[in-house]
Amino acid sequence: MIDNWIDDRYHLTELLDQGGTSLVFYAEDEETGDEVVIKILSPALAERPEYAEAFKKEAQVLSRLHHESIVRLLSTGDKGKLKYFTMERIEGETLKKALQEDSLSIAQKVKIAEKICGALDYAHRMGVVHKDLKPANILLKDDLDPVLLDFGISEAPAISKEEGKEIFGTVQYFSPEQARGEKVDKSTDIYSLGVILYEMMTGELPFFGEDSVSIALKHLHQVPVAPAKKNPQMPESLNRIILKSLQKEKGRRYHTMAALQKDLSRCLEEPDGAYVTEYKERKKRRFFKSRPRRYGFAILAGIVGALLLSFAVFVVLNTLGVLKGDSSGKVFVPSLTDKTLEEAEAILKGLDLTVAYSYQASGVTGEGYVISQSPEMGSFLDRGKTVSLVVSAGAELDKTVPSLKGMGEEDALRMLNDMGFINTLVTYVENTGLDDRIVVSQNPTAGEKFSTDNTVYLTVNRLGDGEVRNIPALVGKSIETALDEAADNGFGNVILTLSDTDSTPGIVLSQFPTTDMTESDFDTLYLTIQEPQGNYSVSGTLQYEGQFTEESVLVATIAFEVEGRHYEFIIAEGVFENSGEYATIYPSGLAYKAKVGNLSEDKGYTLRVYLNYEVVYTDYVP
C-alpha cells in the first residue's frame, strides 16, 4: 500500500503507469512547488536484494546521463520498503500516441529519429544500453523534440524468467539476441530503433503474432517485408536504412547510433538511398545433395543483390536512351522483380510491351509483387512483344513439416528437398552422447504448417573427426593483431570487408565464423574492419572479362602475402544475370580503389575474381 504522500514531501496526484516491478505517478514537490514524476519500487519487491539493487542502478544510470533528449533525474529516496526516485515532468505525449493519431509527416518522423539517435549515441558512449526502446518510452514535447524514458532494464538483475518477464524488454521490439537470451550491447538498441522506424513509416510492426513466443521466433528467423512495400510514399533511402538496422546479424547492422543518425540526416535530400549499402539480409545457402556444410562468400560477403545492379543498368541505359529503343526497334527489358504487378504493367506499357502473368504462392515475396520475369532483365525485345511475370499470391502454408529429430543429416535434407523445402540452414553442435550426423532439433517443429519458401533450421550433432580449430575472438582488436591471431589458430586465409563508420581506424567490427562455432573445416575468416590508418592505397582497373551464361555471384578481391599471412580485401561484389550484364556495368573494366593503411605498403598484390566462390581469374600487380 502506498500513501498519497511520499517522504512528507511529494504529493501523489495521478497514477501514470504500473508495471511488473514499479509504479509511476505525477506528484507535486511541496518544497519547490514543481510538478515531478516519481517512480516507486513495488513494496512487495523492495526487500528483495536483486530488485532493490536493479532499482538503485536505474537511478544511478540516470544520474550520469545529462542530455536534452534523456529524462533528467532530480532526487532519490531509500527508506526500507520505500524506494523511489523523481524525474522532471515533461509536457507532451508519447510517440506511441502520436503514431496512433497519425499526425506526423515523414520529415517530422525523420527529425525525431535523428534526435533519438543522438541521445542513444550519447548514452552508449557513457556505457549505457537502453534495452527497452519502444514508442511508449519516448515522449514528444510540444516542439516534437523526443525525450527518452525508462532505463529500467539497462541494469536488469538476474531474475528468473517467470518473475522477470515484465522487465526484460518488449517482445515486439526485441532484438534477435534478446530473443535468444544472449548478452546484449548497443546493437540491440539499433535493432529496436529499426523496429520503431518501421512502425513510424508503415503504421505496422515488422513482426506480429498470437503470442510472445511466435513473435520472438519471427525476430530470429523471418525477414521483414520491406517497409517501402507497405508505404510506397517513403523514400528508398529510408527503406534501406530501416532494413539495415533490422539485420539479424549484429555485425551487419549500423555499428553506431552516430552512423545511423548520419544516414538519416541524408535520407530526404538523397532519396534514392544509393549511399546505404549492405541493407539486405545475407543470402542463406541452399542445401541439396552436394556438401551441405560448405560455406562460401555468400555467408559473409554481403552480396549487393541483383536488384541493385539491375537498377544501375536501368539508370545507365535510360540515360543513354536505350530504353526508348534503338535503330532496330528493339527495347531494353528492365528488372521488374520486387515491383507490384501494377508498377510492372505501367513500366512495360511505357516501353510498348505487353504483359502476361500468373500467380504463385510465396512466403518470401509479398502478395502482389513480381517474383520473376521472362525474358530476364537485360534482354532486348521487339515492340509489342510480351513479358511474362510470376506474381506472388502470398504465403501458402500447405506443407506439414515432417519430424526430423533423430534422423540422419543427409536423409533429413533429402526429405526436405523432396517435399519442396529448398531453403535449409544447418548449424552444428558436439554431443558425445549422441550419434554423429543426427538431427537433434528443428525449427519449425514437426507437424507445423509452413511455406516451402521459408527457411527450415536444423541443428545437427557432429562429433569431432580431428582437431576442432579454435576460433579466436577478434571483434574490437586491431587488424594487425587479428591477422596474427588468425594465423596462430590455423586460418590460412582472411577475407576483409572495409567499412566507413565512426569507429577506431583498423578495428575489427565483426567476424565470421564467430567464437561459438565449432566447425573443424573452416579455413577462412571473414572480417569487417574500419578503414585502417596510413596513407597507402591501391587502385587500378580489373580487366576480367566475364565468361558466364547464368546468374552468378561474383566477388573481386586484392590479395596480399606478407610475412606468411594471406589476406584479401573485397573490392567489388554482386549478383549478375550473365556476362552481358557484367559487361554493361563495367564496359571499360572494373575500377577499384581501397585504403589498406600500413598493412601492405610497397608490397605487390594479386587481383582475384571468384565466380560462385571459385577462383576464375588472377593477375599479379607488382
| pLDDT tens sequence across 450-506 | 767 666 778 888 776 545 557 788 888 888 888 888 888 877 788 888 877 667 888
Cell triple for 243: 532494413
Backbone angles phi, psi at 424, to 5 degrees: -130, 130
Task: State how far the Cα of 402 lies from the Cα of 418, in Å rounded to an integer.
Answer: 12
Asked if residue 260 lies in contact with residue 117, where contact means CB atoms within 8 angstroms, the answer is: yes
Give per-residue pLDDT as tens, 582-609. Answer: 888 888 888 888 877 776 656 688 899 9
Within 8 A by CB and 6+ apart from 105, the residues are: none
Give per-residue pLDDT as tens, 262-295. Answer: 999 999 999 999 999 888 876 433 332 222 333 3
Pairing of strands 330-332, 354-360: unpaired
The confidence score (pLDDT) of residue 3 equals 64
- Residue listed under C-alpha cell 536512351: 321
Q: Which residues pair with 526 in a beta bridge?
A: 495, 512
| Strand, coil or helix: 375 | coil
Cell triple for 323: 530504353
Q: Specify the long-range contacts of residues 148-151, CB closer than 8 Å, at least 24 apart.
A: 148/69, 148/70, 148/71, 148/116, 148/119, 148/120, 148/123, 149/71, 151/58, 151/61, 151/62, 151/65, 151/123
Pairing of strands 82-88, 73-79: antiparallel
Q: Which of 38, 31, 35, 33 is nearest to 3 (CA)?
A: 38
Share of the chain above pLDDT 70, in %: 78
Give per-residue pLDDT as tens, 294-351. Answer: 333 333 333 233 333 333 333 333 333 334 444 446 777 877 876 788 888 888 888 8
Residue bearing the bigger pLDDT, 599 or 108: 108
Residue 227 — pLDDT band, cuts 50, 70, 90? Answer: very high
Residue 158 — pLDDT band, cuts 50, 70, 90? Answer: very low
Pairing of strands 424-429, 456-461: parallel
Query: What's the DSSP call for residue 489?
Result: T
Q: Which of 493, 495, 615, 606 is nearest to 554 (CA)?
A: 615
The confidence score (pLDDT) of residue 302 equals 32
Cell triple for 310: 539491375
Which stretch of 105-114, 300-309, 392-401, 410-419 has the lowest confidence by average pLDDT? 300-309
Exposed e or buried b for every residue in 240-265, given b needs 16+ CB within 10 A? bbbbbbbbbbbbbbbbbbbbbbbbbe
Element (H, E) at 443: strand 439-443
DSSP 593-620: EEE-TTSSTT--EEEEEEETTEEEEEEE
Asked if residue 561 lies in contact with residue 609, where contact means CB atoms within 8 angstroms, the answer is: no
Task: State how far the Cα of 403 lies from the Cα of 316, in Å rounded to an integer.
Answer: 50
Residue bearing the bigger pLDDT, 23 or 377: 23
Mean pLDDT for 211-226 is 77
Share of the chain above pLDDT 90, in %: 17
A 10 A CB-CB count for 427 gives 15
> So which residues are the catalytic ones?
132
Q: Which residues pair with 93 in a beta bridge?
A: 140
- Residue listed under C-alpha cell 530526404: 268
Mean pLDDT for 380-400 is 79
Pairing of strands 35-41, 22-29: antiparallel
Cell triple for 553: 555471384
- Residue listed under C-alpha cell 504500473: 18
Residue 351: exposure state from Cβ atoms within 10 A (0-12, 13-18, ≥19): middle
Backbone torsion region of residue 484, taken as left when φ is above 0, otherwise alpha when ψ lies between -120 and 50, otherwise beta: alpha
- Residue listed under C-alpha cell 582475384: 608
Residue 134: exposure state from Cβ atoms within 10 A (0-12, 13-18, ≥19): buried
Q: What is the pTM of this model?
A: 0.47
Residue 153 — pLDDT band, cuts 50, 70, 90? Answer: low
Mean pLDDT (the chain) is 78
Within 8 A by CB and 6+ apart from 247, the residues are: 191, 253, 279, 281
Cell triple for 213: 513466443
